[in-house]
Amino acid sequence: MKKIYRLEDLDCATCAMKMEDAVRKLEGVEGASVNFMAQKMIVDIKDDSDEDSVRKAIAKACRRVEPDCKVIG
Amino acid sequence: MTKKQLILLIRIAASSVLLLASWAFKLQGPLGLAAYLAAYAIAGWNVVWGALLNIFHGQVFDEKFLMTVATAGAMGLGDYKEAVAVMVFYQIGEWFESIALGKSRKSIASLMDIRPDEAVVLRDGQERAVDPSQVEVGETLIVKPGEKIPLDGVIIEGSTSVNTAALTGESLPLDRGPSDRVVSGSINLTSVIRMRAETNFAQSTVSRILELTENAAQRKARIEGFITRFSRWYTPIVVLAAVLLATIAPLFFAQSWGKWINRALIFLVVSCPCALVVSVPLSFFGGIGGASHKGILIKGAGYLELLSRIKTAVFDKTGTLTKGVFEVVAIHPQARSEAELLDLAALAEANSSHPIAQSILRAHEGHIDKSRISSVKEMAGQGVEAIVDGRRLYVGNSRLMESVGASWRPCHHEGTVIHVSEGKEYLGHIVISDTIKQEAREAIAQLKSLGVERTVMLTGDSDEVGQSVGKAICIDIVASRLMPQDKVSRIESLISKDAPLCFVGDGINDAPVLSRADVGIAMGDLGSDAAIEAADVVLMDDNLMKLPQAIRLARKTMRIVRQNIVFALSVKALVLVLGSLGFATMWLAVFADVGVLVLAILNAMRALR
């Protein structure tokens, strides 16, 4: 299942790269791709996992990389 | 300017004033120290705080951390003034970066802004402005001149011109009248129309295009992978070098520890790979945005990169190199004028809906007086028998001529031959054929001058037709009499690792081929579902010149990407060398970090045009 999250205040491209890496390693995530320009993250979530908890894990992983950036959606 | 940017600007200004004041009044001792520390805190508190947070999160080598260590180190050496100045300079760079990034994001977004704001829908006899997503299929919409057409649909009432430039890059307006299809995102130019919505908003052409371009990051370019790997190693290596410079070098060389530590700090400032990391996706995004404005939709940076290196171009024939529409190409009368023969054939075929009859009627152009026709009889698989002005006409293929006993003769032209006879008397024939697109030859020639080594045409037609089209437009290889599955195996035999191949088709029946090619390019009618799904690149109109244009655009983008990489790397290398020899100041190092980044962003924006 593909989900698109908006990344508010994503200003640093290195962080975008690190977020992508961090989210890819999360449980329940098949793949992730950050579009730095469009400030969006496209995450492929495994079908059998709980979307809400994955979303929380994603927000947490991103906060660890770049505290200024908020995950919305 | 956003609130965040404004606050940063105020902090930069306050810190600068404090720094200049304490420098001008030559503050000394505890008062001086307090002033410098305050200036440092005003400019850089969030940098230091972010660095501390990141250490707790296990993120060591990030920009904030490196800047904190570098400036703290400078303070440790007693260079308070320099430490504050570097922090202020760094923040100025960050501010510029934020502004430049915001600007470029905005200009790309506005370039791709084809989204209609509202739709005027007719409900219960009243006009209501609603969000386009609220409109249901089958509802009647009213579009005034100057407004965007909100959904795909068909005109019910009114005739107008529409501008599809935002979708196709083609600025010539199209005339549209009742029962013509209009596409969402195009602009109604001249008069009010009423139209029936045929799709909902999510399925409209506009939504699909936006979806495609905004989520185009799916397939990344090889060069992006390179940057990712590079930056993973670059920072730790430079930091390690800095440590060695501060600890080992003083043991071998005469200068003081302080000097070497200062050089090591310069290394730390240069060790952030940000300019590289930001400029590459930015250039690609600019390239994709600029292309979409010209009616070339590219589904990812990876395809842009491949497109720039295309060595083999494979084309489908019908509908791609040719118009896919049958036209009269020759009229050969027997002892009569061409106009007279065409006139008779058109009269005989006037009531037929067969594609061949239609093409004869199109060629005739003039008014057809149907009262001259007294009876028409269709003869299946042969043609028609019609009585026109009391004359018994036969119009059809050679079998019809045989059966009425007319002495027909064959034609040297390729295509479908339509014979005409009056009773047994042979009057001549008309040749109908699919015509080659006007620009096909020029497009192929341009591809060759762009360094495409092989051009190939695939067709299901006969060898003769294939060869004649191929020769007319100078295609290198022609493969004819292919079934759809043969086309896939042909493509597979042409694919090679070092020479990327593109396949250009109209998206009808060739989805498997499109997805098998390195770059599948679909062209033609706006919003054909199959094409948009299967292709990697979509050309929004059926002009073949878009293909060389797309390749040129891809090359330009790649050039900008490479320029940025070479520029950023060489400036950093230069500063590292100068720094280790003791010729670089920390100011120069900060410029190498953020200055290069801003220049790289500005350069990347060229990809938009």
Tokens describing residue B372: 């001259």
Check residue B592 and report its DSSP letter.
I
C-alpha to C-alpha distance for B381 and B390, rounded to whole angstroms: 25
Residues B217, A4: C-beta atoms closer than 8 Å: no
Q: Does A14 touch chain B (CB under 8 A)?
A: yes
List C-alpha distances in Å: B39 to A20, B19, B52, B543: 36, 6, 19, 61
**Contact present, B324 and B506 (Cβ < 8 Å):** yes
The reply to whether B186 and B156 lie within a common domain is: yes
Strand partners of residue A71 = A7
Minimum distance, in Å, between the CA of residue B112 and any CA atom of chain A? 12
First-to-last C-alpha distance (Å) of chain A: 15
For B52-74, what is each residue's pLDDT tens digit?
A: 888 887 777 777 888 888 888 88
Give CA torsion, residues B408, B414, B418, B423, to 10 deg: -10
Count of C-beta atoms within a 10 Å radius of residue B83: 25
Comparing CA positions, the residue from A64, A65, A67, A73 lying closest to residue A39 is A73
Kind of pairing between the strands at A2-8 and A40-45: antiparallel
Residues B217, A34: C-beta atoms closer than 8 Å: yes
The reply to whether B392 and B456 lie within a common domain is: no
Spell out which residues of chain A touch residue B282, defining contact as CB-CB under 8 Å: 13, 36-37
C-alpha to C-alpha distance for B69 and B71, rounded to whole angstroms: 6
For B594-608, what is each residue's pLDDT tens digit?
A: 788 888 888 888 887
Which residues 173-232 in chain B show a CB within 8 A of chain A? 214-218, 220, 228, 231
pLDDT at B210: 75
Residues B273, A14: C-beta atoms closer than 8 Å: yes
B79, B152, B316, B593: the catalytic one is B316
Q: Does A67 touch chain B (CB under 8 A)?
A: yes
Instruction: Give chain B's length.
Output: 609
Which residues 93-122 in chain B show a CB within 8 A of chain A? 97-98, 101, 104-105, 108
Q: Does A1 touch chain B (CB under 8 A)?
A: no
Residues B105, A4: C-beta atoms closer than 8 Å: no
Q: Does A26 touch chain B (CB under 8 A)?
A: no
What proportions of chain A, in percent to the nearest 5, are helix, strand and coil? 35, 30, 30
pLDDT at B239: 87
Minimum distance, in Å, between the CA of residue B284 and any CA atom of chain A? 10
- Residues ≥6 apart with Cβ < 8 Å to A38: B214, B215, B217, B285
Check residue B591 and report its DSSP letter.
I
In this structure, what CATH number is given to the domain that contains residue B452? 3.40.50.1000
Spell out which residues of chain B touch residue A33, defining contact as CB-CB under 8 Å: 217-218, 220
Buried b vs exposed e over B408-439: b needs ≥16 C-beta within 10 Å? beebeebbbbbbbbeeeebbbbbbbbbbbbee
C-alpha to C-alpha distance for B23 and B20, rounded to whole angstroms: 5
pLDDT at B112: 65
The torsion angles phi and psi of B160, rounded to 5 degrees, stand at -155, 175
Residues A13, B274: C-beta atoms closer than 8 Å: yes
Give B561's pLDDT tier (boundaries 50, 70, 90): very high
**Contact present, B309 and B594 (Cβ < 8 Å):** no
Comparing CA positions, the residue from B267, B255, B244 lying closest to residue B588 is B267
For B577-596, what is each residue's pLDDT tens digit?
A: 998 888 888 878 888 887 88
Spell out which residues of chain B touch residue A40, defining contact as CB-CB under 8 Å: 214-215
Spell out which residues of chain B touch residue A38, defining contact as CB-CB under 8 Å: 214-215, 217, 285
In which order are the strands placed within the sheet that holds B193-197?
A: B126-130, B119-123, B140-143, B193-197, B153-157, B181-182
More confident residue, B295 or B444: B444
Where a domain ends, among B401, B436, B471? B436
Where a domain ends, among B185, B213, B241? B213
Spell out which residues of chain B touch residue A31, defining contact as CB-CB under 8 Å: none
CATH number 3.40.630.10 given to A2-72? no
Comparing CA positions, the residue from B495, B501, B602, B552 lying closest to residue B296 is B552
The reply to whether B505 and B366 lie within a common domain is: no
Total domain count for chain B? 3
C-alpha to C-alpha distance for B258 and B249, rounded to whole angstroms: 11
pLDDT at B111: 66
Position B512 pLDDT exceeds 80: yes
Minimum distance, in Å, between the CA of residue A40 and any CA atom of chain B? 8
The 3-state secondary structure of B313-359 reads EEEEHHHHHEEEEEEEEEEEECCCCHHHHHHHHHHHHCCCCCHHHHH
In this structure, what CATH number is given to the domain that contains residue B408? 3.40.1110.10
Tell me what the mean pLDDT of segment B558-564 comes to.
93
Mean pLDDT (chain B, rounded):
85
Strand partners of residue B296 = B539
**Contact present, B418 and B432 (Cβ < 8 Å):** yes
| Local structure of B291: helix, strand or coil | helix
Spell out which residues of chain A touch residue B285, defining contact as CB-CB under 8 Å: 35-38
List C-alpha distances in Å: B59 to B64, B91, B232, B590: 10, 21, 12, 21
Does the residue B36 lie in any domain? no
Position B526 pLDDT exceeds 60: no
Does the residue B312 lie in any domain? yes
Q: Is the dihedral of CA B193, B197, B202, B203 positive or negative?
A: negative
Give B298's pLDDT tier (boundaries 50, 70, 90): confident
Spell out which residues of chain A touch residue B90, defining contact as CB-CB under 8 Å: none
For B226-273, what is each residue's pLDDT tens digit?
A: 887 888 788 888 888 888 888 888 888 777 777 888 888 888 888 877
- Residues ≥6 apart with Cβ < 8 Å to B212: B297, B299, B532, B538
More confident residue, A13 or B291: B291
Spell out which residues of chain A touch residue B57, defining contact as CB-CB under 8 Å: 64-65
- Which residue among A4, A18, A36 places its CB closest to the CB of B281? A36
Boundaries of every domain in chain A: 2-72
Give CA torsion, residues B5, B11, B12, B13, to 10 deg: 110
Position B525 pLDDT exceeds 70: no
For B125-181, what is each residue's pLDDT tens digit?
A: 888 889 888 889 999 999 998 888 999 999 999 999 988 877 777 777 888 889 888
The reply to whether B312 and B442 lie within a common domain is: yes
Closest residue on chain B to A13 (Cα) = B278
Does the residue B459 lie in any domain? yes
pLDDT at B314: 95
The reply to whether B442 and B548 lie within a common domain is: yes
Comparing CA positions, the residue from A33, A22, A26 lying closest to residue A66 is A22
Residues B285, A42: C-beta atoms closer than 8 Å: no
Q: Does B298 touch chain A (CB under 8 A)?
A: no
Minimum distance, in Å, between the CA of residue B459 and any CA atom of chain A? 38
Closest residue on chain A to B49 (Cα) = A67
Substitution target in A14, A25, A43 with the highest count of B β-carbons within 10 Å is A14
Substitution target in B2, B106, B214 with the highest count of A β-carbons within 10 Å is B214
B316 is catalytic: yes
Give B40's pLDDT tier (boundaries 50, 70, 90): very high
Does the residue B275 lie in any domain? no
The reply to whether B415 and B332 lie within a common domain is: yes
The reply to whether B459 and B477 lie within a common domain is: yes
C-alpha to C-alpha distance for B560 and B574, rounded to whole angstroms: 21
Where a domain ends, among B413, B436, B459? B436
C-alpha to C-alpha distance for B211 and B233, rounded to whole angstroms: 35
The reply to whether B314 and B380 lie within a common domain is: no
Buried b vs exposed e over A28-58: b needs ≥16 C-beta within 10 Å? bbeebbbbbbbbbbbbebeeebeeeebbebb
DSSP B107-140: HHHHHT------EEEEETTEEEEE-GGGPPTT-E
In this structure, what CATH number is given to the domain that contains residue B196? 2.70.150.10
C-alpha to C-alpha distance for B8 and B44, rounded to whole angstroms: 10
The reply to whether B127 and B209 lie within a common domain is: yes
Give B531's pLDDT tier (boundaries 50, 70, 90): low
For the stretch B436-440, contacts whose Cβ atoms lie closer than 8 Å and that sit 24 or more positions apart, written own/partner, are B436/B321, B436/B322, B436/B323, B436/B469, B436/B472, B436/B473, B437/B321, B437/B322, B437/B323, B437/B542, B437/B543, B437/B544, B439/B543, B439/B544, B439/B545, B440/B321, B440/B322, B440/B473, B440/B544
- Residues ≥6 apart with Cβ < 8 Å to B5: B95, B98, B99, B102
Q: Which domain holds residue B200?
A: 119-213
- Which residue among B101, B217, B274 places its CB closest to the CB of A14? B274
